[in-house]
Structure 1
Amino acid sequence: MKVTLFGCTHPHSKAHLKTLLLSERISDVHVYDETPGDAEEAAQADVAISASHATVESALADSPDVGVACLSNDRNADLCIQLLESGVHVISEKPIGATVEDVQKVVDAAQSNGLRLGVMYQNRSHPLNQEARRIVQAGTIGRITGCEARLITSQVRFRNPDHWLFKRDVSGGGILSWLGCHYLDLLRFVTGSEIQDVSAMVGTLSGEPIDVEDVATVSLRFDGGFVGSLQAGYQLSLSNSGYMGPNYETYMSIRGTEGRVVWEPSGTETKLLVESTQWTDAPSREISFSLPTVDAYGGAHGLAFLDAFLDATEDLDLPTPADGTDALQIARIIDAAYTSSESGRHISLES
């Protein structure tokens, strides 16, 4: 299988490239970037890269089976559509596009061309999240009554405030769009329930010259009848610089009538705390995981996520691990959060 990475300067491009080179599903890895020399430099840095391209047309002429879309948010949707209309399956960095309308156009292009569209919600494949989902959806904690997520990470000053991620006209949003999206998706994934109502307050409190939110509190109502929340912020004052090694303070809990599940999705501890009145012999348990060391984006589970998508491009009966409709739903939720914060109103998502 031939896979091309489109975009070599995205904050996650190098990590995605490592994953592509590790996948046994892939025989040829190509790279593209519009900035002169960037793709060639990436190719020269690793002899395993088969070719570099300075135009999308050149990359398409080599007939990739799959494209990994990693341009800035304002340009990424157009790239995805171009690839899909050229017969190329696409897996994209989130959020796929800067607006709900952009993401919708990409989803429509994938459907009209009969091609796979994936989104990089690799956290779904982490064993902690997989086990939490299994426990919750097996009814071990009873009927869900609430859920809570928290994602606090390094301050904006550690992340280059001049980056396009902090320019609303390019990124489309701040921490909700860049990181909070993962946790909103996990709440949907683990509970198996859709978010239907949103109330939110967001702010820009870092003191840096940015025009996107760096703190957010979002209240949610799910179609299962229960309520939940997400707190997100670029707020940690002690951290490593950059995008691939910052500190995190994270928490997730799903609570039900007969128990709860608690874990740290981005923490250093790989364990679940599970309480269930159904377990009369030991109602409170800790489930620990020993994870292999793999130099892929997200480790072994990140590689497994990519491979699952690649498998789904070859066998259309297989599900994709996270598809364009997931990205579209998250885009709608985040857009509702911004509307709620600006208007002071509770927002119901249209079905």
Structure 2
Amino acid sequence: MEKVKVALFGVTHPHSKAHLKTFQLSEMVSEILLYDEDPEALAQVREEFGKGTMASYVNLDEMLGTETFDIGVADFRNSVNADLCLRLIEKGVHIISEKPIARTADELERIVNAAARKGLQVGVMYQNRYHPVSREAHRLVQSGVIGRSTTCEARLITSQVRFRDPSHWLFDKKRSGGGILSWLGCHYIDLLCHVLGDDIVEVSAIVDTLSGEDIDVEDVASLSFRFRSGALGSLQAGYQLAMSKAGYIGPNYDSYIGFRGTEGRLFWSPVDKPPKLRVESATEAWKDAPARTLKYTLPEVDCYGGAFGIAFLERFLKSTQGDGDPPASGRDALKVARVIEAAYESSDTGKRIKVRP
């Protein structure tokens, strides 16, 4: 395929530098443009990552009116990211965005529909789908190793809000749209659906703000849900670890993902090093070794998601040139957003909520 020219919008996002590293390491990217309204932040990033960046702008109108590029990387804060995406679509540019892409499901739906009308791809940064453990779990579940799936569960507990700058826009509902569910829980909701190949149709949830910090988004959440197939699932999420590193890259995690079925189960901790997938199966094909632990050695690559992050990105880039589907689409992000909004509604009303189709 032809190499692509990429424009990254927003260098102060917690993940922007990691995304920039990923694009710089991809052999499918020819040039990278940068935009941010903060000239000092832009200068700092250019100094640190100057290789491969051909130009930078502090005026968005000037950049969109002057430059031509193939891919827009949307890393604005949630309250303005949707408008950026719509402008990029109007310009005829494919988009890959940080999750959740927009503050609300309605905003996100407008982006998805606008891109579809223009024949453009919208991708979302759900790189965890491409982790070798996630991919193997998906393959095993889909091949029937655990039989008919009946339940799944996920746990995502990470550093307390005080380690993450409580004044950050992520903890301001007007600018973020939500708390830990829209920032981190979304990854696990997406993975549960992706591995099962199923959609969540009903949610019961309790969310709260218990950190004691001056924030107005949820920092703990407990969700139960039903999938279209009838399988049940749960998610526990929280900013709760009292002993952790500060910041957004490399904090401590306590995490778990597991799937159970009529013939077995599989489970893993996403933070295990080295990664391990544990599988138990009572199927005939596994009778010689019904319990197995699969261990993975991953290459050391300094970017967002490492080697599998590059593979995820390049699958998206190929999809923009007519080669297959994106690895995680705007419509996938929309499904997750609707689950999260159903969780908020459930917590507010005390009722079980059906997810909008």
TM-score range, shorter chain: over 0.9
Structure 1 Cα separation of the partners of residues 142 and 302 of structure 2:
31
Does 2:330 correspond to 1:324?
yes
Helix, strand or coil at the partner of 1:305: helix
Correspondence for 1:52 = 56
For residues 319 and 272 of structure 2, the distance between their equivalents in structure 1, rounded to whole angstroms, comes to 30
SS in 1 for 2:14: coil
- Residue number in structure 2 paired with 1:176: 181
SS in structure 1 of the partner of residue 29 of structure 2: coil
TM-score normalised by L of structure 2: 0.96
Match in the other structure for 1:13? 16
Q: Deviations over 1:192-221 (max 9, x none)?
A: 010000000001110100000000000010
Distance 1:159 1:268 in 2: 24
Amino acid aligned to 1:285: R
Name 1:287's counterpart in structure 2: 294
Cα drift, residue 113 of structure 1: 1.0
Matching residue within 179, 192, 196 for 1:191: 196
Superposition pairs of residues 265-280 of structure 1, within 5 angstroms: 265-278=270-283, 279-280=286-287
Structure-1 residue corresponding to 2:163: 158
CA contact (8 A) 2:226 2:233 kept: yes
> 1:35 offset after TM fit, Å?
2.0
- Residue of structure 1 equivalent to 2:44: 41
Q: CA deviation at 1:335?
A: 0.3
Q: Secondary structure at the match of 1:109?
A: helix
Deviation of 1:3 (Å): 0.2
- The answer to whether the 8 A contact 2:6-2:31 is kept is yes
Name which of 335, 344, 350 aligns with 2:341. 335
- Does the residue aligned with 2:214 lie in a helix, a strand or coil? coil
Distance in 2 (alpha carbons) for counterparts of 1:266 and 1:339: 31
Alpha-carbon distance between aligned partners in 2 of 1:59 and 1:18, rounded to the nearest angstrom = 22
Contact 1:152–1:232 (CA under 8 A) maintained in structure 2: yes
Counterpart residue type for residue 277 of structure 1: A
| Aligned counterparts of 2:70 and 2:157: Cα–Cα separation in 1 | 37
**Partner SS for 1:287:** strand
How far the C-alpha of 1:269 sits from its partner, in A, is 3.8
1:299 aligns with 2:303: no
Q: Does the 8 Å contact 1:31/1:42 carry over to 2? A: no
% identical aligned pairs: 56
**Shift of residue 100 of structure 1?**
1.0
**Following TM superposition, by how much is the alpha carbon of 1:347 offset from its aligned partner in structure 2, in angstroms?**
0.1
Q: Take 1:237 and 1:104, find their aligned partners in 2: how far apart are those partners? A: 37
Deviations 1:51-88 (A, max 9, x none): 10112233332201001000000000000010011011
User: Corresponding residue for 2:134?
Assistant: 129
1:109 Cα shift?
Answer: 1.3
> Residue deviations 1:29-67, cap 9 Å, x none?
111001233323322322311110112233332201001
Counterpart AA for 2:328: A
Partner of 1:74: 79
Residue 227 of structure 1 is matched in structure 2 by 232
Aligned residues: 350
User: What SS does the corresponding residue of 1:27 show, helix, strand or coil?
Assistant: strand
Q: What stretches of structure 1 of length at least 5 have no aligned partner? A: none
Query: What secondary structure does 1:217 align onto?
Result: strand
Q: Give the CA deviation at 1:130.
A: 0.1
CA distance in 2 between counterparts of 1:76 and 1:214 reads 22
Kept in 1: contact 2:274–2:297 (CA 8 A): no
CA contact (8 A) 2:338 2:356 kept: no
CA distance in 2, matches of 1:269, 1:192: 26
CA contact (8 A) 1:276 1:283 kept: yes
Residue equivalent to 1:28: 31
Say if 1:250 and 1:267, in contact at 8 Å, map to a contact too: no
One-letter amino acid matched to 1:346 = R
Q: State the alpha-carbon separation in 2 of the partners of residues 183 and 324 from structure 1.
A: 16
SS at match of 1:244: coil
Equivalent residues in 2 for 1:192-211 (5 A)? 192-211=197-216
2:315 to 298, 308, 311: 308
Contact 1:305-1:321 at 8 Å conserved across structures: yes
CA contact (8 A) 2:171 2:216 kept: yes
Distance (Å, rounded) in 1 between the aligned partners of 2:187 and 2:204: 18
SS at match of 2:320: helix
Q: Which residue is equivalent to 1:143? A: 148
- Distance in structure 2 (CA, Å) of the matches to 1:242 and 1:43: 21
